[in-house]
Amino acid sequence: MARLVIVSNRLLLPGTAQARAGGLGIAMREALRGGGGIWVGWSGDVVTHPADAPRLTTRAGVTYAAIDLSSKEHKLYYLGHANATLWPLFHFRLGLMEYRRDAARAYLDVNRRFAKIIASLLEPDDLIWVHDYHLIPLGQELRKIGVTNRIGFFLHTPFPPAEVLIALPRNEMLVEALCTYDLIGFQTEDGVRAFMGCVTELAGGLDLGGGELSAFGRRSRAAAFPIGIETEGFAALAAQAADSEDTRRLEESLGGRALILGVDRLDYSKGIPQRFEAIDALLSDWPEHRAQFSYLQIAPYSRGEVAQYRSLRREIEQLAGQINGRYAEFDWTPIRYVNRSFSRQTLAGFHRRARIGLVTPLRDGMNLVAKEFVAAQNPDDPGVLVLSRFAGAAHELREALLVNPYDVDELAGALRRGLLMPREERVARWNAMMAVLRTNTVETWSSGFVAALEGTPPPQALRVAGGASG
């Protein structure tokens, strides 16, 4: 089997940041486990003069190649174009999108710099697998400097339809960069459809059917690869964690009350204010639930230097204060709001104790937390997943209580239904969801993508005669 070279902005170096929140890092760590290969990405460090060569560390057959960013790159590429332009755009939040030409330029420059570094690490048969919106132009930059290896791309976020993408100045460059990959992977068929729409409507390319496309003088393929988790491993971790010190402390603090649990990075895509409002609606419309549950929202700060994230933080703090002020008793508060990361074992134990997993993003590529919640449950007495229709996971976890997260009253009704749901129904729903998670794991996801990439024709054979597009 060819060596795998994974490239992503976020890199989880061995022995550090084990508890860092973020789906991509967790999934990559699982995907590389046992297989070996190279993982290239940002070291997480911001330095005055980034070195030309990456820092290499090898652990358990995996080589980690860490690249530093300068403070200008961090500001314009990571906080700017990636997280203040592309992230809101890809989550359909045009009202939150900012655009700056210097940030768009820095985004391209960082991709070019990454490409040079990666080219120096490559062997002829390596398969290159690029991840996420930070690095869309990377494949094109690698081609420009003569790399002929197969290159695949996977987008962890949603992909917007043409009528949304068109708000991005020079959007055709982004579409062209994506079309340079031999295989372009999305979380769901919605993503594939939206991308095909952009190829045909914005770039004058051709949809050849079956995911094949022709644009910018070459052919490539787009397909859905819904990402999974390490299902059995997470289930075993949760079973072990049921007796851990942290779970015991949580149990004692609940005093026999039901637990509603949310676990997210503090991000406006996650719909956290709407959840707080739903708790308010539940307590106001059905007072019999007062003091009968605790809602624990774990939300470590993320991308705190971006203005939109700072105002979200203020909004949530205010809401939590108001709602707790309205309903708290001297021995009970409805909302516990915690801004820190926890180990995977502690989170697994908390999920297992929860009666309801509240996973209600306004838009999400997949949402691995929804899958982790299901995997962590006790098969004899499982909790209920309340899941947004707009999470990628909703395409697979059909037996969750599916909600429109914008409708706070619907959310409150689903919480009530979850709190009252009889055990037989919870067991039946859980079994159906668990069967899906056992079939589609992080391992099947990554081996499926790699096999599909290996199966694409060699890049040199993909040129289409004539024309810039079509």
Residues 214-253, mask of contacts with ligand ADP (x by CB under 6 A):
----------------------------------------
Number of residues this chain uses to bind ligand ADP (CB under 6 A)? 19
- Check if the beta carbon of residue 423 is closer than 8 Å to that of residue 430: no
Amino acid present at 130: V
The token pair that represents 173 in the structure block: 């460059």
DSSP, residue by residue, 186-199: ESSHHHHHHHHHHH
* DSSP 3-state of 281: helix
- Would you count residue 12 as binding ligand ADP (CB under 6 A)? no
Contact partner, 440, from ligand F6P, ligand ADP, none, Cβ < 5-8 Å per class: none
Q: Does 22 bind ligand F6P (CB under 6 A)?
A: yes
Integer Cα distance of 261 and 466 in angstroms: 56
User: What φ, ψ does residue 209 adopt, rounded to 5°?
Assistant: 90, 155
301 near ligand ADP, rule: CB under 6 A: no
Distance CA 5, CA 37 (A): 6
What are the structure tokens assigned to 74, written together? 């961090």
Of 370-409, binders to ligand ADP (CB under 6 A) are 372
- The closest residue (CB) to ligand F6P is 22
Of these, 21, 84, 192, 258, which contacts ligand ADP (CB under 6 A)? 21
Residue 10 binds ligand ADP (CB under 6 A):
no
Residue 416 C-beta: closest distance to ligand ADP, Å? 25
Contact track, ligand ADP, 249-278, x by CB under 6 A: --------------xxx-------------
Rule CB under 6 A: say whether 93 interacts with ligand F6P: no
Gap between the Cα atoms of 441 and 447, Å rounded: 10
Q: Which stretch binds ligand ADP (CB under 6 A): 2-10, 327-335, 368-376, 447-455?
A: 368-376
Number of neighbouring beta carbons within 10 Å of residue 33:
16
Location of structure tokens 């070279």: 5
Name the residue nearer to ligand F6P (CB basis): 267 or 443: 267
CB nearer to ligand ADP: pick between 191 and 413:
191
Q: Is 364 a catalytic residue?
A: yes
The enclosing H or E element of 184 equals strand 183-186
Binding string, residues 128-147; x marks residues near ligand F6P by CB under 6 A:
----x---------------
Give the other-Cβ count within 10 Å of 102's Cβ.
12
44 binds ligand F6P (CB under 6 A): no
3-state secondary structure 360-401: CCCCECCCHHHHHHHHCCCCCCCCEEEEECCEHHHHCCCCCE
358: amino acid identity, one letter: L
Alpha carbon distance 337, 349 (integer Å): 18
Is 25 an interacting residue with respect to ligand F6P (CB under 6 A)?
yes
Residues that bind ligand F6P (CB under 6 A): 10, 22-25, 132, 156-157, 265, 302-303
Residues that bind ligand ADP (CB under 6 A): 19, 21-24, 26, 263-265, 298, 300, 341-342, 347, 366-369, 372
Task: Tell me the catalytic residues.
Answer: 156, 364
